């Protein structure tokens, strides 16, 4: 959970139970991953942007992972490996902070969401659209965005 998220309630027992049962709870939060991820990141994962055109972003701001062999091998290891590799999570072939200047034009690689882009690729590769069974709505009963915390 990043600093911009606040819990709305102290009773998160159902959320924790969902994470135990599903091994993962995450949040859908935006338009197509294909339009908000630079090509070099897709290349690292040997993926094509067009495969992600109808797949929405998955929020990097809040997710719960249960430490299972599947989650560690298919989610955590690829996330960490990418984070440690120059040009994967933060490709150097685009202008710095490109996310701030684009993303609404429906053009491949028009902007980049860094860790959120990588998280989406890894989760869709691991779960396909079955990831939707493990999601919370952005506006849910457990947490909310707090813009003053950033």
Establish if 150 belongs to a structural domain. no
Give the pLDDT confidence score for residue 64 in this predicted structure: 94
Q: For position 36, what pLDDT does the model report?
A: 84
Give the pTM.
Answer: 0.86
Domain interval for residue 92: 5-145
88, part of any domain: yes
| Domain presence at residue 10 | yes
Q: Examine residue 94 and state whether it is found in any structural domain, yes or no.
A: yes
In a domain, 46, yes or no: yes
The domain total for the chain is 1
Determine, yes or no, domain membership for 104.
yes
Question: With 60 as the cut, is the pLDDT of residue 97 above it?
Answer: no
Instruction: Give the span between the Cα atoms of 35 and 16, in whole angstroms.
Output: 32
9 domain-assigned: yes
CA 51 to chain centre: 16
| pLDDT, tens only, 26-65 | 998 878 898 888 888 999 999 999 999 999 989 888 899 9
**pLDDT, tens digit, for every residue of 81-92?**
999 998 888 877
Whether the CA torsion 26, 28, 35, 116 is positive or negative: it is negative
């Amino acid at each position: 959970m990043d600093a911009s998220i606040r819990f709305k309630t102290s009773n998160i027992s159902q959320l924790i139970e969902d994470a135990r049962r599903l091994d993962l709870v995450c949040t859908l939060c935006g338009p197509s991953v294909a339009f908000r991820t630079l090509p070099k990141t897709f290349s690292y994962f040997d993926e094509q942007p067009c495969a992600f055109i109808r797949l929405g972003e998955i929020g990097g701001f809040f997710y719960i992972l249960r430490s299972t062999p599947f989650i560690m091998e298919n989610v955590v290891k690829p996330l960490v490996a990418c984070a440690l590799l120059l040009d994967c999570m933060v490709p150097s072939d685009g202008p710095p902070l490109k996310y701030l200047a684009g993303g609404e034009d429906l053009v491949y690689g028009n902007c980049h969401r860094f860790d959120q882009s990588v998280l989406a690729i890894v989760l869709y590769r691991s779960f396909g659209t079955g990831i939707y069974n493990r999601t919370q709505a952005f506006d849910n009963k457990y947490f909310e965005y707090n813009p003053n915390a950033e």
